[in-house]
Chain A
Amino acid sequence: MRGTLTQFGWKTSLQVILSVILARLRLRSRYKGWLLLGLIIPIVMSAIIIFLGRALGGPRAAENFFLNTGTSNYVAYIILGSNVFMIVSRALWDFGFWLRREQETGTLESLYLAPTSMMLILTGVAIYNALHSIVNFFITFALGCFLFRVNPLQGNIPIALLFLSLGLVPLYGVSLLYGAMVFKLKEAHALIRMAQWVASFLMGICYPISVFPPFLRAVALLFPPTWMSNGVRASLLGVGFFFGTWYRDLAVLSAFCVIMPLVGYSVFLATERRIKRNEGVGMF
C-alpha cells in the first residue's frame, strides 16, 4: 500500500496468524504456575470422582460401572472425561474469554486499530489453544494413568485422535458464540463459570448421557463436545458410539465442524458491530 509499510497478501496474513501464536506462547510461558495448574486440575477432578465412586461402590464399583457404561475401566473412563472437559474449559477461558481479557487489559483496541481481520487473529488464538490443549491432554492423561495404574495405550488410538482433533473445530465455534455473549454482557467470569458447569454436565465427565431423560439427552447431543468425549472413550474403551459405528459419529461431528464455526463467527460479527455502534470495543 502506497505511503505505508503495510503490504496485504497471503504471506503477511499467514504472518499475522503465526505472530498471534508466538505472542500467546510467550505470554503463557511467563506464567509457569498456571501451566502447572493446568496439568493438575484434571487429575484432581478425576481423583475426586474416582475416590467417591470407590467409596460408593466398594468392591462392586467396577462391576456396577460396567453394567451402566459398558466398561469396567472406570478410572480410564473418568480420566478421559476429565481431560476432554479440560480441553472444553480451556477453549472457553482462553478463547471465549480471550476477548474480554483483552478488553480488560486495554489491548483489544490496539488489535482493532490494526488493519487485520479479526478472523485472522481468532484463527491464531484458536490454533495456539488447540496445540496447547492437545499437548496438555497427552501429558495429563499419561500422568493420570500412571498415578491410578491404568494402561494408557489401549483401544483404537488413531480414531480417538481423530475425534479429539476434529472435535476442536466446532468447540471453537461454540466458544466464539459464547465469547460474543461475554463481549456484550460483560459479566465474563460468571458466564464462563456457568458454561463450564453446563458443559461438564452435558458432556458426561463420569457417566454416559444415556442416564439423561430424553429431552436432556437430545440437548446433550446438540452439544459438539459430547460427541468428542464419547468418540474418544468409545474408541479407547469400547463403550459404544452413538450411531453404532465410528464413521457415523465422525460424520455428525464433521457436520458440526462446518455449522458451529459459521454460526459462532456470524454471531460474533453481529455483536461486534452492535458494540462498535454504541459504546465501542474499548469499554469494559
Chain B
Amino acid sequence: MIQKLKLSSLALGSMVKKELIIMTRYPVNFLVSFVTSFIMVSMYIFVTLMFAPQRSEGSLAGVGGVGMFGFFLSTFFSSTLWEMASGIRWEQYQGTLECLYLTPASKFSSLVSKVIPNFIWTGFNSLAMLLFAQALFGRLPFHNLGVAAYIFTMTIAGIFGFGFAFAAFTLLVKESAILTANFLQFSLYILCAMFFPFSALPTFLLRISRLIPLSYCIDAFRSTLMGYPPGFPELLPIEQELIIITAFGTVMPLLGYLLYKAAERKVRIEGSLGEF
C-alpha cells in the first residue's frame, strides 16, 4: 500500500513536472497573464470613474473589494474549467490521450497534474492582480483572513470537483466541450455576480443565482474579506453560506471523481477513447 502510494506520488510528480516544463516553453503566455491582470484592474477603475466618480475621491477600496475579490475566485474557476476542457481536448486531438491510458499511471493523477501547475500560476497571477488593485485603488480590505482562507480552500476543492465532472463531459462529447466551456464561463460570470454585487442582478436572474453553490462561495469570500459591511453577504447569512460552501467543497470532489470514472469506463467500453 505504501509502495503503491509512493509510486503514485512519483507518477504525479512527473506529470506535474511535464506540465510545468510545457508552461515554460510558452513565455508569451507568461507575459500575457500579467498584462491582462493589469488591464482588467484598470478597466474596473475606469468603469468606477464613469459611474461613481464621487467614490474615487475617497478610497476606492470598498468598491474594489467586490470586483477584485470576485475576480480573484473567478480566475481559479476559469482556469480549471479551461484546463479540463482544452487540456483533455488537446490530448484527444494530438492522440496522446490513448498513450496516457496505455501507461500504468493513474489517469486521475494525470487530471490533477494538469490543474496543479495552472493553479500555481493562477495563484501568482491573481496575487499580482490584487497588488495592482491595491496600488491603484488604495488599500483593499483584508479582514477575517482565517475564515476567508477556509472559504477559499472549500471553494477550490469544489472547483476541482466541478473540473473533474467537466473532464467527464469532455471525454464523452469531445468537440462540443470547448463550446460548452465558453457558454458556462460566460453564464456564470453573470449568474455568480463575479464582478458586481448580486443586488445589481434582475430578480429572475437572482433566483437562478441562488441555485448555484459557486454564488455563495463568491458572496461569502468577498463579504468576509471586506469585513461584512452592511448588506453583505447578499444571498444568505454567513453561517448558512458557510454550510453550503462546506458541502460544496466536500461533496463536489467526490461527485466529480465518480462522474469521471463513469465516463472513462463508458468511453473504454465504446472504444471511443482515441477518437476526437
Listed in ascending order, the chain A residues whose CB lies under 8 Å from chain B are 31, 33-34, 37, 40-41, 44, 47-49, 51-58, 60-61, 64-65, 67-69, 74, 185, 187, 189-191, 193-194, 197-198, 200-201, 204-207, 211
Contact = CB atoms under 8 A, between A and B. Distances in A.
Given A48-B195, A193-B36, A68 B26 contact: no
B26 A190 contact: yes
Given A194-B28, A197-B35, A206-B50, 13 more contacts: A33-B179, A44-B186, A48-B196, A51-B193, A56-B47, A57-B52, A64-B53, A190-B31, A190-B32, A197-B40, A207-B49, A211-B46, A211-B49
A191 B28 contact: yes
B99 interface: no
B196 A198 contact: no
A44 B39 contact: no
A101 to B, nearest CB: 13
22 contacts: A44-B187, A44-B190, A48-B189, A48-B195, A49-B47, A51-B193, A52-B51, A52-B195, A52-B196, A58-B52, A60-B52, A61-B52, A64-B51, A69-B50, A191-B32, A194-B35, A197-B39, A201-B43, A205-B43, A206-B47, A207-B47, A211-B46
Contacts of B54: 64
Interface string B38-66: 01101100111111111100000001001
Contacts of B187: 44
A74 B50 contact: yes
Nearest to A207: B46
A117 to B, nearest CB: 30
Tell which of B55, B182, B196 has the most Cβ of chain A within 10 Å: B196
B183 interface: yes
Contact of B189 (A33, A44, A200): A44
A135 B53 CA distance: 36
Contacts of A53: 47, 50-51
Interface in B1-57: 26-29, 31-32, 35-36, 39-40, 42-43, 46-55
Nearest to A49: B47
Given A68-B50, A197-B39, A206-B50, A51 B32 contact: no
Interface string B176-217: 100100110011011001011101110000000000000000
B123 interface: no
B46 A67 contact: no
